[in-house]
Chain A
Amino acid sequence: QVHLQESGPGLVKPSQTLSLTCAVSGVSISSGDHYWSWVRQPPGKGLEWIGYIYYTGSTYYSPSLKSRVIMSLDTSKNQFSLELTSVTAADTAVYFCARAPIPSGHFDYWGQGTLITVSS
């Protein structure tokens, strides 16, 4: 049973760095068969893809967020992480981690999501 679980601070101050972790169980992130992604959803709005990381450490970020995003992974803990720097209120959203099988690329498993609020 594949399971993804996000964890994070809940509240981040403007200009600070948002840090989230996605713990994965039921599958190894080192298998090479999947991309590991982050997707966010502002309250009441649609879905925005943030980027992915592959087990080799290679990444691809959305051009709109590229200057502020860093993704990493910890294969020993079977988890991957997101850092978003210089946050503003516009970064307030539910953040989801998700798995995309290769080569298809759709998102077949999602975490439940975690709400991150940017506020002083």
Chain B
Amino acid sequence: EIVMTQSPATLSVSPGERVTLSCRASQSVNRNLAWYQQKPGQAPRVLIYDASTRATGISARFSGSGSGTEFTLTISSLQSEDFAVYYCQQHDNWPRSFGQGTKLEIK
């Protein structure tokens, strides 16, 4: 099973700032990596898949990069609605696996 590790666990940032979240896989997942945003009481929402493809309706301020074992999600200018928990997930191998999440907090 592939283990996904996200860093940091919590990030305190101010609105308008640029932020980068990291995700590492225990073995190569090629470019088969997705990012999700989850707000309290809601289901996760896919932001990025195939490492860098934005899902339908997702703002261009979200971008993904990486391949193999190292991936990043960048939010170019944080808006109030972006404060949430972000998960990465590999969709290369079975079983599918998620990172433990990074929580974006308002500074």
Contact = CB atoms under 8 A, between A and B. Distances in A.
Q: SS class of chain B's interface: helix, strand, loop or mixed?
A: loop
B101 A49 contact: no
Interface stretch (B16-24, B70-78, B87-95): B87-95
Contacts of A26: none
A51 B97 CA distance: 11
B44 interface: yes
Given A63-B1, A104-B91, A106-B91, A47 B49 contact: no
Contact of A104 (B1, B50, B95, B99): B50
A49 B86 CA distance: 16
Interface in A36-78: 37, 46-49, 51, 60-63
Classify the interface of chain A: helix, strand, loop or mixed: loop
A46 B87 contact: yes
A108 B46 contact: yes
Contacts of A106: 34, 46, 49-50, 89, 91
Interface residues of B, number: 24
B43 A105 contact: no
Interface in A1-41: 37
A23 B8 CA distance: 36
A53 to B, nearest CB: 13
Nearest 8 CB-CB pairings of A with B = A105-B91, A106-B34, A110-B43, A106-B49, A49-B96, A47-B98, A62-B95, A46-B100
Interface of B: 1, 32, 34, 36, 42-46, 49-50, 55, 87, 89, 91-92, 94-101
Interface of A: 37, 46-49, 51, 60-63, 96, 98, 100, 104-108, 110-113
22 contacts: A46-B100, A46-B101, A47-B87, A47-B98, A49-B98, A62-B95, A63-B95, A96-B43, A98-B43, A104-B32, A104-B49, A105-B32, A105-B92, A105-B96, A106-B91, A107-B36, A107-B89, A108-B49, A108-B55, A110-B43, A112-B43, A113-B43
